Amino acid sequence: MGRPLGDLPAVEVENGAGAADLAAALHDLGYRSAAVLGGPEGHRTGEARRAGFADRFAALGGSVTTETCAFTRDGGYEAMAAVLDRDERPRVVFAANDVMAVGAMAAARDAGVEVPGDIAVAGFDDIVTLRDVTPSLTTVRLPLVEIGQAATRLALAEEDTSGDTETHFRGEVVVRDSTPPLHEA
């Protein structure tokens, strides 16, 4: 899912915009310090989400730090462990995908840090697995089925005669129990 390659059509997810919307929602809930678990350097999706979140959160007056890591559950776990080792912990952690957020929540649990009491966590994608995660995870919901259908239609089309070679999807912020309203000084 990315920009068209040459004349090839593509499905585009507005990753940066969705992450920026999440940053604004968390700021509105009272969060003023954040860490971003952004995935590895050079990963387009991770970089777009990391930049979208960090730019908006900082523009709203919040402080943001970032951790690079694998775009996996274990990457989220390791990056969260690094965040928890800091002298000054952020109040909320944004993982660039829900799988990383699940790893981050496991790292917090293993360190005896309560989510959301001690640190809040948010993710991106709204994967089905989140139905089994406690507390329920705040995330950016992507219409994953519709994205897959659009990609399939593009891949199976013999020729695109509409002139519209891109299909854009923007996520929707879903606030859940992992990020309760907070009022920091």
Number of domain units in the chain: 1
Phi then psi for residue 12, to 5 deg, are -115, 125
Note down pLDDT in tens along the chain; length 185 residues.
Answer: 444 556 677 889 999 999 999 999 999 999 999 999 999 999 999 999 999 999 999 999 999 999 999 999 999 999 999 999 999 999 999 999 999 999 999 999 999 999 999 999 999 999 999 999 999 999 999 999 999 888 888 888 755 545 555 588 999 999 999 999 986 54
Does a structural domain hold residue 26?
A: yes
Does a structural domain hold residue 167?
A: no
> Which residue carries 């994205």 as its tokens?
147
Residue 1 has a pLDDT of: 41
Residues 21-36, buried b or exposed e (16+ Cβ, 10 A)? bbbbbbbebebbebbb
CB 105, CB 115: distance < 8 Å: yes
Does a structural domain hold residue 32?
A: yes
What's the CA gap between 108 and 112, in Å, rounded? 6
Does a structural domain hold residue 71?
A: yes
Residue range of the domain that includes 44: 11-142
Does a structural domain hold residue 65?
A: yes
Does a structural domain hold residue 85?
A: yes
Does a structural domain hold residue 160?
A: no
What's the CA gap between 121 and 137, in Å, rounded? 7
Does a structural domain hold residue 99?
A: yes
Least Cα distance to 34 among 95, 117, 113, 82 occurs for 95
CATH number for position 36: 3.40.50.2300
Q: 169 pairs with which residues across the strands? A: 13
